[in-house]
């Protein structure tokens, strides 16, 4: 096999998010976010786990940056905790909260690691949820104010900016199936939340650009599903189209093209008239982007439902008796054949290729980044304390090879962020699911790079994928 080499400018990064790693939830003026409240509500997370300590990155960030530098990573994507910066979700900034991120960024830059900031990775300040949360329009304006504060504080030293991480999860899991914070199960609120997240993205992008140097880039990260129909029958194709609208079109329609898909309006008409889309919103949402971030783990396989089933359930991040998908009781989700990760997610690297090529066709000329990709496995240290994770290495190799194939076929993919740097708080699954390239012992909080970290580090340093069975 010939070695798989990447362009020399390709960015090799790792990704994390604030609530999943920081801990220190009551320090330096931080107040609860919806995830603090949700995780402390009995029955919401596996084992009642929460992010109070998480992996204590707030205090150990220097060691974590040193770990990345040791591996040879060139970029780090992390998110800002809104509740640290604006504890009530509005009003003046708390400098002590911002200082943490200033120190983190300085540490990264000193080690030649490019920071990429995500402003919102699901942790809305609780006070904003108490005022109605994302289904309310005002939350989008609050987000723009927050974006401006962070842009002013870090815009001089961070070039890459991401407004929202996976707004689908915020809207559909937070307000639809309820498996994510704030745990509401209201189909109409789900669609209202999606629109206000889109509006927040547009207003936030404008706010960032109003205070930042022009060289900085603004993007967002979508968990764009590759939706596959079970067969080519018209009914299955229609089911795939409906889920594609609800998973993808609802965000990339207005953001990239300035309009919601007509078919989305038709499919949801029995629930809502979309009157919360006000004049001028679509133009605000349709801000020019400098790049698009794609998060990819697994494809979706759907068909039309037979008469005797009870509606779609698949949402990947936890089971609920409530479907995350409004107006889609006529769709059935299937488990694709083949191997799965510890999340039960099927492994299909071609889904990443298909996703990249889709956006290459849909928005030609827009640089793409894979802002998340990775896998959970039941990793355990061996007798010598080493953590071998050959399945994760195979997963990364397979997906990176597909990214390379897309580049060869003309896609402008500029970088890849492995999810995740460290084992961390995996939302409703608590600490049960390990996505890290670096193992964390949750008793001592000691970090041990797994073989995948060494494998990926070598890829980053050489720009070439090591063989999948190379031993580290
Ligand atoms: C993505 C999230 C990330 C993590 C991975 C496994 O949807 O953005 O925080 O949970 O899934």
Rounded CA-CA distance 44/247 in Å is 24
- Overall average pLDDT of the 257-266 stretch: 98
To test ligand 1's pocket by mutation, which of 18, 167, 173, 427 has the most ligand atoms within 8 angstroms of CB?
427
Q: Considering the entire predicted model, what is its pTM?
A: 0.98
Is 391 considered catalytic here? no
pLDDT of residue 315: 61
Give which of 356, 362, 135, 413 is closest to 253, Cα–Cα: 362
Positive or negative, the CA dihedral 237, 261, 195, 414 is: positive
Rounded Cα–Cα distance for residues 168 and 250 (Å): 9
pLDDT of residue 407: 98
In sequence order, what DSSP letters do the residues of 261-306 get, joined into one string?
A: -HHHHHHHTTT---TTS-TTHHHHH----S-EEEE-S--EEEEE--
Catalytic annotation present for 145: no
Q: Which of 166, 170, 369, 370 to mutate to test the pocket of ligand 1 (most atoms within 8 A of CB)?
A: 166
Out of 78, 300, 426, mutate this one to test ligand 1's pocket (max ligand atoms within 8 Å of CB): namely 426
Higher pLDDT, 224 or 370: 370
Q: What is the pLDDT of residues 232-258, one digit of tens each?
A: 999 999 999 999 999 999 999 999 999
**Interval 47-89: pLDDT, tens:** 999 999 999 999 999 999 999 999 999 999 999 999 999 999 9
Distance from the alpha carbon of residue 217 to the mean position of ligand 1, in angstroms: 23
> Is 135's pLDDT higher than 90?
yes
Bridge-based pairing state of the strands 300-304 and 331-334: antiparallel
Nearest ligand 1 atom, CA 427: 10
Fold topology of 11-462: TIM Barrel (3.20.20)
Q: Give SS3 for 220.
A: strand
Nearest protein CA to atom 10 of ligand 1, as residue: 426
Ligand 1, atom 9, residue with closest C-alpha: 17
Compute the distance from residue 82 Cα to the ligand 1 centre, in Å. 18
Query: What confidence tier does 472 reach under pLDDT thresholds 50, 70, 90?
Result: confident
Cα four-point dihedral sign 177, 181, 185, 186: negative
Per-residue pLDDT tens digits for 168-185: 999 999 999 999 999 999
Radius of gyration for the alpha carbons in the chain, expressed in angstroms and rounded: 21
Domain ranges of the chain: 11-462
Q: What pLDDT shows up at residue 115?
A: 99
d(CA 245, CA 300): 13
**Residue located nearest, by CA, to atom 2 of ligand 1:** 166
Question: How far does residue 222's CA lie from ligand 1's centre (Å)?
Answer: 11
Per annotation, catalytic residue among 107, 372, 391, 426: 372
pLDDT of 144 higher than 80: yes
pLDDT band at 1 (very low <50, low <70, confident <90, very high): low
> Could you say which DSSP state residue 429 is in?
G
> What is the signed CA dihedral for 359, 360, 363, 368, rounded to 10 degrees?
80
Out of 107, 166, 360, 402, pick the active-site residue: 166
Sole residue written with tokens 């079109």: 249
Query: Among residues 92, 152, 88, which one has the least CA distance to residue 125?
Result: 88
Pair 455, 374: CB distance under 8 Å:
no
């Amino acid at each position: 096999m010939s070695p798989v080499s990447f362009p020399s400018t390709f960015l090799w990064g790792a990704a994390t998010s604030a609530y999943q790693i920081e801990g220190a939830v009551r320090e330096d003026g931080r107040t609860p976010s919806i995830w603090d409240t949700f995780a402390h509500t009995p029955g919401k997370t596996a084992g009642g786990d929460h992010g109070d300590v998480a992996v204590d990155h707030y205090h150990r960030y220097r060691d974590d940056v040193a770990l990345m530098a040791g591996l040879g990573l060139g970029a780090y994507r992390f998110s800002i905790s809104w509740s640290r910066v604006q504890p009530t979700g509005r009003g003046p900034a708390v400098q002590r909260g911002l200082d943490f991120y200033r120190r983190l960024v300085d540490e990264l830059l000193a080690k030649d690691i490019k920071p990429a900031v995500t402003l919102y990775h699901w942790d809305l300040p609780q006070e904003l949820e108490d005022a109605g949360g994302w289904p309310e329009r005002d939350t989008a304006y609050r987000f723009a104010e927050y974006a401006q504060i962070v842009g002013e504080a870090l815009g001089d030293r961070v070039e890459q900016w991401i407004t929202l991480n996976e707004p689908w999860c915020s809207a559909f899991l937070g307000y639809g199936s309820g498996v994510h914070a704030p745990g509401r199960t209201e189909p109409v609120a789900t669609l209202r939340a999606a629109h206000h997240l889109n509006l927040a993205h547009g207003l936030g992008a404008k706010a960032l650009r109003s205070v930042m140097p022009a060289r900085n880039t603004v993007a967002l990260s979508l968990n764009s599903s590759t939706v596959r129909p079970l067969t080519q029958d018209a009914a299955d194709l229609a089911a795939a189209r409906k889920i594609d609208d609800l998973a993808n079109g609802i965000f990339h329609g207005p953001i990239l093209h300035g309009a919601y898909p007509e078919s989305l309006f038709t499919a949801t008409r029995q629930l809502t008239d979309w009157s919360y889309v006000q004049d001028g919103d679509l133009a605000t949402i349709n801000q020019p982007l400098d790049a698009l971030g794609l998060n990819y783990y697994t494809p979706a396989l759907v068909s039309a439902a037979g008469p005797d089933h009870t509606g779609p359930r698949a949402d990947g991040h936890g089971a609920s008796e409530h479907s995350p998908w409004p107006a889609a009781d006529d769709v059935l989700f299937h488990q694709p054949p083949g191997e799965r990760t510890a999340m039960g997610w099927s492994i299909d690297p071609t889904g990443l290729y298909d996703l990249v090529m889709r956006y290459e066709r849909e928005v030609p000329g827009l640089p793409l980044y894979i802002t998340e990709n990775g896998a959970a496995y039941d990793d355990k240290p061996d007798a010598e304390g080493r953590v071998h994770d050959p399945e994760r290495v195979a997963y990364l190799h397979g997906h990176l090879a597909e990214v390379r194939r897309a580049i060869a076929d003309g896609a402008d993919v500029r970088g890849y962020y492995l999810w995740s740097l460290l084992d961390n708080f995996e939302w409703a699954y608590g600490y049960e699911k390990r996505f890290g390239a670096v193992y964390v012992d949750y008793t001592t909080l000691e970090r041990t790079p797994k073989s995948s970290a060494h494998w990926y580090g070598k890829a980053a340093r050489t720009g070439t994928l090591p063989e999948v069975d190379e031993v580290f």
